[in-house]
Amino acid sequence: MDHHEGFREFVLARQQALVRTAYLLVGDPHLAEDLLQSVLANVVGQWPKLVRDGNPEAYTRRALVNQYISWRRRPRPESPSATLPEHGFSPVEAALDRLVLRRALARLTRKQRAVIVLRYWEDLTEAQTAEVLGCSVGTVKSQTHHALARLRTLAPELMNAEAEEALR
Amino acid sequence: MTRLRDALVGLAEEAPAMSLGENLVHAAIATHRRRRQRRATVAAVAAAVAVVTATTAGVTVLRPKAAHPAAPAAPAAPAAPAGQDAVTDLPDGPVGAISHSYRIPCAFDRATHEADCGVAELRVVTVSGRTYRVAQALLHATGERDTPVAISRDGRMFAYYRRDAGTFVVRDLVKGGERAAPVLVPARRIGVGAMLTLSDDGRYLAFDPREGTKQDATMMDLASRRTTSIPGVYEVISIKDGTAELIRYRKTDLWLRPFGGGGEPVRFKGPHIMFSELAPDGRTVVATEFPEHQKGILTVLDTRTGRALRKVTVRGLPQKPGLTAVTLWRSSSEVVVVADGRKERAAYAVDVESGRARRLIGYGSHWRVNLPGVSYGI
């Protein structure tokens, strides 16, 4: 029997959800795939242990965030460009929101972006977010505060009263 | 749900559809194994390198263009007839995948001993047989050196040096549109035997300014606009999924190097030339141990252990001059080679188990032909 069978089933079942998280973190489809593949290479090494006494999906999500944050420590040889990548245009409001959000997320720090993705996309609690990020709940609260404050400046149209509620 | 949440959900849905499936699994497992192997064998590799260096010392191998020139793809259409006249400029819109490109050389006036390069052209031939002139391409760099071109292995993407862009561009021939390299490449950087390698999806482009020298090559990611340097002692054979297959001749080392770096070279015992791309099994390559190419003997090599798995004597190739390049895989058991006969240069599919070769396509009398998935012209 193939000893990677369980890992294979896991990836095939969860790949789309994982790549969406990766995409929200990095904001680029190709980098998202790179990030996910890099993380899965680590996950497969831990697979027997994860199956025995862990939660593979939570571990993978945590690894995605950690890897994403740690990428800032790598050399970044890319050339900054004044022109934005081409994206499809849609006149509908939702599409405009996505454009605004994409640009705003790109201006956040990596930890702030990770907090936003975990709290508002993954719908994790502050305690769960703290566990994923390996920090205290207080740090999650402060990171969320700073991230939302930054988003409020960058994309005020996206921030309504409900989001403000999270600050309190 | 807040507007922020809605926007996040919408943005997440723009994530690429993961149709990779098994490929993603295999890539993750393969990457994991490479990392584990690298960690576990650093000391052993160092020792092995020392031993192999000692055993191969004194072996001299020429690695000129003649030693591993041409290469073929797995073309589906016949070559366009030589001298085809109905040539129009390549339009901006889609034209369909191409089977190869070639050049019309400068005309040489025997009386005045002067070259007229006004007649020189770069042309592409679609799989349906139409020929187009790439008018915007810069044909010659400083010193009349040919500028390199590259075709993705499926013929959908075509990379060439665009005069007005001052760098290489990748044209999508099926959808239309063009994307420039993230950095300018001054034409003066293009040296003798410059090479260009293009990934299957057109995302990665590697430019080696001068074949056979220690000038670093540049690998470019046209999507993320990043670049990375490849040590000049290596030559780029192919790029798949962001991983470049690099060969260091003489030693001979093969390095499967991801765009961001990493991976570890593996060393083969004995000098090998004419490397194929990585086989569909993700593990083996085919090359020929110098000077066995003269006898039509191929060697199947394991890129993880460096071991020669077997030797295959190819049957059915022209006797002379014989084998000139080993290139792409058509299937898990067939690799495409190019061989010169007395009358023509042609591509053959070779069964790596039995050695039996069957002719695929002839390339006629065209000059400087470039084939899909091959980083050098023939």
Sort out which chain A residues have CB atoms less than 8 A from B225's CB and list them.
78-79, 81
CB contact under 8 A, A42 and B4: no
- Give the distance from residue A136's alpha carbon to the nearest chain B alpha carbon, in angstroms: 24
Tokens at A146, concatenated: 């700073």
Q: What is residue B134's predicted lDDT score, i.e. its pLDDT?
A: 94
Triad B248, B251, B255: Cα angle to 5°: 40
Residue with tokens 């000391």, as numbered in its chain: B43
* pLDDT-derived band at B365, boundaries 50, 70, 90: low
Distance CA B65, CA B377 (A): 9
- Average pLDDT of the residues in B162-178: 92
Q: What is residue B251's predicted lDDT score, i.e. its pLDDT?
A: 79
Q: Which residue of A has its CA nearest to B6?
A: A94
Is the pLDDT higher at B22 or at B102? B102
Measure CA B350 to chain center: 19
CB contact under 8 A, B15 and A24: yes
Element (DSSP H or E) covering residue A6: helix A5-26
CB contact under 8 A, B11 and A42: no
Q: Which residue of A has its CA nearest to B17?
A: A16
Q: What is residue B82's predicted lDDT score, i.e. its pLDDT?
A: 42
Reference A28, options B260, B11, B169, B240; nearest CA is: B11
Reference A99, options A157, A153, A35, A144; nearest CA is: A157
Q: Which residue of A has its CA nearest to B204?
A: A30
- Average pLDDT of the residues in B79-89: 57
- Give the distance from residue A89's alpha carbon to the nearest chain B alpha carbon, in angstroms: 13
Measure CA A45 to chain center: 22
Q: What is residue B37's predicted lDDT score, i.e. its pLDDT?
A: 60
CB B271 within 8 A of CB B290: yes
Q: What is residue B36's predicted lDDT score, i.e. its pLDDT?
A: 66
In chain B, where does DSSP find H-type helix? 3-12, 22-56
Q: Which residue of B has its CA nearest to A15?
A: B18
* pLDDT-derived band at B212, boundaries 50, 70, 90: low
Region of residue A115 (phi > 0: left; psi between -120 and 50: alpha; otherwise: beta):
alpha
Size of the A and B interface in Cβ pairs below 8 Å: 141
Q: What is residue B68's predicted lDDT score, i.e. its pLDDT?
A: 32
* CA distance readout (Å), B43 to B37, B38, B47, B214, B223: 11, 9, 6, 27, 37
* pLDDT-derived band at A5, boundaries 50, 70, 90: confident
Residues of chain A with pLDDT > 70, as a percent, come to: 77
Q: Which of A22, A30, A94 sits opposite B10 (nearest CB)?
A: A94
Reference B327, options B277, B368, B375, B292; nearest CA is: B277
* pLDDT-derived band at B23, boundaries 50, 70, 90: low
Tokens at A84, concatenated: 């934005």
Distance CA B209, CA B223 (A): 22
Is the pLDDT higher at B211 or at B182? B182
Task: Give me the DSSP letters along B167-235.
Answer: EEEEEETTT--EEE-SS---GGG--TT-EEEE-TTS-EEEEESSTTSSPPEEEEETTTTEEEEE-TT-E
Q: Which residue of A has its CA nearest to B242?
A: A34
Tokens at A164, concatenated: 């403000």
Q: What is residue B369's predicted lDDT score, i.e. its pLDDT?
A: 83
Q: What is residue A92's predicted lDDT score, i.e. its pLDDT?
A: 53
Specify the range with the lowest mean pLDDT, choosing from A122-126, B228-232, B298-302, B317-321. Answer: B317-321
Specify the range with the lowest mean pLDDT, choosing from A24-33, B18-27, B185-194. Answer: B18-27
Q: What is the pLDDT of residues B344-353, one digit of tens each?
A: 778 899 999 9
Q: What is residue B53's predicted lDDT score, i.e. its pLDDT?
A: 35
- Average pLDDT of the residues in B60-88: 40
Specify the range with the lowest mean pLDDT, choosing from A74-78, B319-323, B330-334. Answer: A74-78
Q: Which of A42, A79, A121 sits opposite B183 (nearest CB)?
A: A79
CB contact under 8 A, B35 and A94: no
Q: What is residue A82's predicted lDDT score, i.e. its pLDDT?
A: 45
Query: Coil, strand or helix: which one is B55?
Result: helix
Q: Which of A15, A76, A158 sits opposite B4 (nearest CB)?
A: A158
* pLDDT-derived band at B39, boundaries 50, 70, 90: low
Residue A135 DSSP symbol:
S
* Interface ipTM: 0.71
Tokens at B23, concatenated: 């490929």
- Give the distance from residue B262's alpha carbon to the nearest chain A alpha carbon, in angstroms: 12
Query: Coil, strand or helix: which one is A42?
Result: helix
User: Which of A20, A70, A84, A99 should be substituted to probe chain B, the one whose Cβ sees the most B Cβ atoms within 10 Å?
Assistant: A20
Tokens at A22, concatenated: 């990766």
CB contact under 8 A, B8 and A120: yes
* pLDDT-derived band at A72, boundaries 50, 70, 90: low
Reference B348, options B361, B365, B331, B366; nearest CA is: B361
Sort out which chain B residues have CB atoms less than 8 A from A28's CB and list them.
223-224
* pLDDT-derived band at B18, boundaries 50, 70, 90: low
Residues of chain B with pLDDT > 90, as a percent, come to: 32
* pLDDT-derived band at A122, boundaries 50, 70, 90: confident
Average pLDDT along chain A? 76
Sort out which chain A residues have CB atoms less than 8 A from B10's CB and list them.
94-95, 97-98
Q: Which of A31, A41, A160 sits opposite B31 (nearest CB)?
A: A41
Average pLDDT along chain B? 79
CB contact under 8 A, B226 and A79: yes
Q: What is residue B73's predicted lDDT score, i.e. its pLDDT?
A: 39
- Average pLDDT of the residues in B194-199: 92
Q: Is the pLDDT confidence value at A161 over 80?
A: no
Q: Is the pLDDT confidence value at B15 over 50?
A: yes
Q: Which residue of A has its CA nearest to B37?
A: A45
Q: Which of B20, B22, B32 sits opposite A44 (nearest CB)?
A: B32
Element (DSSP H or E) covering residue A68: helix A56-70
| Torsion B215-B273-B242-B205 (CA) sign | positive
Q: What is residue B17's predicted lDDT score, i.e. its pLDDT?
A: 67
Q: Which of B10, B20, B24 sits opposite A97 (nearest CB)?
A: B10
Q: Which residue of B has its CA nearest to A71?
A: B260
Q: Is the pLDDT confidence value at B19 over 80?
A: no
Sort out which chain A residues have CB atoms less than 8 A from B2's CB and list them.
120, 160, 162-163
